[in-house]
Structure 1
Amino acid sequence: MTQAVRQSRGPRSLINAVLNSDGKPHPLENTFVAVTLVLGVLAFVSSAFNNLHLLSSWSGLAGIFAGAYGQYISATTGERFLLIIGLGASAFGFFLGMAHGGLFGGLIG
């Protein structure tokens, strides 16, 4: 007789189910997902303010590089999905930060 498997239903188990959908842990890949999402949110939010163009452009650039490498080593579709969300937010923040003053903001030149 088979037994039903009890699954926890917390937010941690939902994230684990999305990121590790193949049943194997991917700590490096999941770290790149988290870093890309944090940098993307930081770049996106700070790009709304003209005087924070240094923060938005540098965090956007770092998020683009982290997301690109995360895409290169990603193992599951859930990781790739969240990386694209973070990459989009990072690119948006980067380009708006560049439009507001750039990476150096008049410090050079």
Structure 2
Amino acid sequence: MSQEASETRTRTRTRQAVDREGRPEPHRLQGWLAVASVTIGVLALILGWIEETHFPGAVAGLIGLPLSLYSQMISATTNERWLNVIGMVTSFLGISFALNNGGFTL
């Protein structure tokens, strides 16, 4: 009895989502969201740092921060979580620099 319970427990731990051919299904959405959060975060950081481009930097930071927070919430692997944290920090710094340089004023 305990052996059956042990086998059932190990089988449920290793179960993954699989596609039609039996291969493990990758986390495409989570991966794309993690890359997008880093890209938008770096863009916000660069645009927020430059005084003439403070408005697009503030907008990019305003988009990047909630995106990276949502991406962190649904992430499945450690690599995605690392990218999400980098995206969060760069988005926050980008919007902070942009607000210091003029924020949402045109």
| TM-score computed with the length of structure 1 as normaliser | 0.71
| Aligned position for 1:33 | 34
Number of equivalent positions? 83
Runs of 4 or more off by more than 2 Å in structure 1? none
* 2:53 aligned residue: 52
Q: After superposition, what is the alpha-carbon deviation per residue over 1:18-53, rounded to whole angstroms, capped at 9, x for unaligned?
A: xxxxx6410110111111011011011112211111
Q: Percent identity?
A: 34
Could you tell me which runs of 5 or more consecutive residues in structure 1 were left unpaired when the two chains were aligned.
Answer: 1-22
Counterparts of 2:66 and 2:84, CA distance in 1: 11
Gapped regions of structure 2 (runs ≥ 5) = 1-23
Counterpart of 1:69 in structure 2 is 70
The answer for the alignment partner of 1:89 in structure 2 is 90
Q: Greater helix share, 1 or 2?
A: 2
